[in-house]
Chain A
Amino acid sequence: MKKAIITVVGRDTVGILARVCTFLAENQANILDISQTVVQDYFNMMMIVDTARSSTPFADLVGGLDGIGKELGLQIKCQKSEIFEKMHRI
């Protein structure tokens, strides 16, 4: 399993999740978990995905999601999960 964390931060609009999930499906990235909160109209979403079966280079996933974010006026990041695991788990 190659875990990555996708975070979406920005103003809540219709269809954010749909766009991100469609992109992930097209790139064979499997969604393992989704959590989200809306604070003062700001949408915070975290998605844990497995990219092991994706043939798309990781940098292209990062770039593709960043592009969708720009289109929707949001910030979408895709990062390998180790940075969070290392920081928050001993």
Chain B
Amino acid sequence: MLNISEVLETNKMIQDENLDVRTITMGVSLLDCADAGVGATCEKIRAKILRIAGGLVRTGEDISREFGIPIVNKRISITPISLVGASCCRTPGDYVTIARTLDRTAGELGVNFLGGYSAIVSKGMTPSDELLIRSIPEALAVTERICSSVNVGSTKTGLDMDAVRLMGETVKATAERTKDRDSLGCAKLVVLCNAPDDNPFMAGAFHGVSEADAIVNVGVSGPGVVKYVLEQMRGADFETLCETIKKTAFKITRVGQLVAQEASRRLGVPFGIIDLSLAPTPAVGDSVADILKEIGLEQPGAPGTTAALAMLNDQVKKGGVMASSYVGGLSGAFIPVSEDQGMIDAVNAGALTIEKLEAMTCVCSVGLDMIAIPGDTPAATISGIIADEAAIGMVNQKTTAVRIIPVIGKSVGDTVEFGGLLGHAPVMPVNRFDCTAFISRKGRIPAPIHSFKN
């Protein structure tokens, strides 16, 4: 029988330590919506999403009320739209028409975001992939809820450097196209390497072709809970520290598992995966940076940060894996800058640079995330940053990503306000040395050798 201290512990996590389920993301395959005409494709897409995901928001709200656990986001991920539109889209404008349909449909359903305005071009781009990528700046400017992602490489295929070059230009064009809103479009655009098919988190969520027709994926959260238990562990040895993080991750993940199973049962859609990520928010106390401080760093970015983060990330996975029947997605600690007050403070204190963040992404999920950079940063430099991050993912067999915002009209020292969960960010300096000659080369970087590991 449950005892009062267990019940009060759970409710304290929810009420005081920001424990929540960050997202229920329903994956919907749109492969059967492809048609020869743009209008017909849009109609089929709308009808299918409404049919499969019609009850998503209400079900999420019901579960939240009945179990007393906040479910922050209800989202949809779809088949990469470059595949769905391949047979009908002849211009970037055709893809934008699909984006508008998706946005309207997401609005009708009341979901927070819809992800999958995507192309998977790990080895090369088809004409439709390229059209989609060229449509991204306009699509993100004229829609509200659409998230876009492009996968430019993988451990097995190497890096498509033509796509890397094009994505540098696309990020820059998206920033220009949304400059009246502090280049907000770039906050909904992520460039990935080794993108998983079942990620529930935005902006990189899409419903991969390896997935079933529809699926429910859940992303849990809870940096605040981990931070609180570590406050009680000051001075403890690493064994105690790791055991504590594991136990806490287990408890957090069990809540996610419960929500996922309930959502799956009520919606009549199979349960896919739990994503074991520690996802921060700009709310005070809901910060991965604060955990790093609690582990013993004055600020994230101090020497020791990469080791502390590696340990945190590994313990979260070890604790979470046993709590869930299926684990997938990104599964690791997120280190976005604008979405984590502790990270913002570390940047403002001069403790954290893009280079240190890059090192941190070697040991955790997922990459250079929500980083504002000067608006005059050249497209080639952005491509260089993307290539570096993708190379880390390719060589280390992990997912990496770049979601940076070159804020047009702003420079180092300025602050950008994105609002809501996207938070606010100080504009960070970027290495000003040129990489144009490297980025201008055509073709691919071959897949890495999988032996002689050093």
Identify the A interface with B (CB < 8 A).
5, 7, 9, 33, 35-37, 44-46, 48, 58-59, 62, 77-88
Q: Assuming the A-B contacts A44-B8, A84-B10, A88-B2, are A79 and B66 also in contact, with contact meaning beta carbons closer than 8 angstroms in the complex?
A: yes
Number of A-B contacts (CB under 8 A): 64
Q: Are B10 and A88 within 8 A (Cβ)?
A: yes
How far, in whole Å, are A9 and B16 apart by their CA atoms in the complex? 14
List residues of chain A with CB within 8 A of the CB of B3.
35
How far, in whole Å, are A85 and B2 apart by their CA atoms in the complex? 7
Q: Determine whether B7 belongs to the interface, using a CB cutoff of 8 Å to chain A.
A: yes
How far, in whole Å, are A32 and B251 apart by their CA atoms in the complex? 25
Q: Are A84 and B7 within 8 A (Cβ)?
A: yes
List residues of chain B with CB within 8 A of the CB of A44.
4, 8
List residues of chain A with CB within 8 A of the CB of B67.
79-80, 82-83
Q: Determine whether B266 belongs to the interface, using a CB cutoff of 8 Å to chain A.
A: no
How far, in whole Å, are A78 and B66 apart by their CA atoms in the complex? 8
Q: Are B257 and A58 within 8 A (Cβ)?
A: no
Q: Assuming the A-B contacts A7-B11, A59-B66, are A84 and B6 also in contact, with contact meaning beta carbons closer than 8 angstroms in the complex?
A: yes
Interface range on chain B: under 10, 10 to 19, 20 to 34, or 35 or more?
Answer: 20 to 34
Q: Are A62 and B2 within 8 A (Cβ)?
A: no
Main secondary structure of the interface of B (DSSP, over half): helix
Q: Assuming the A-B contacts A35-B3, A48-B2, are A62 and B65 also in contact, with contact meaning beta carbons closer than 8 angstroms in the complex?
A: yes
List residues of chain B with CB within 8 A of the CB of A59.
62, 65-66
How far, in whole Å, are A58 and B67 apart by their CA atoms in the complex? 10
Given contacts A62-B68, A77-B68, A88-B2, 20 further A-B contacts (CB under 8 A): A7-B7, A7-B8, A35-B4, A36-B4, A46-B4, A59-B62, A59-B66, A62-B65, A62-B66, A79-B66, A81-B2, A82-B258, A83-B10, A84-B6, A86-B254, A86-B255, A86-B257, A86-B258, A87-B6, A88-B10
Q: Determine whether B437 belongs to the interface, using a CB cutoff of 8 Å to chain A.
A: no
Q: Are A87 and B4 within 8 A (Cβ)?
A: no
Q: Determine whether B1 belongs to the interface, using a CB cutoff of 8 Å to chain A.
A: yes
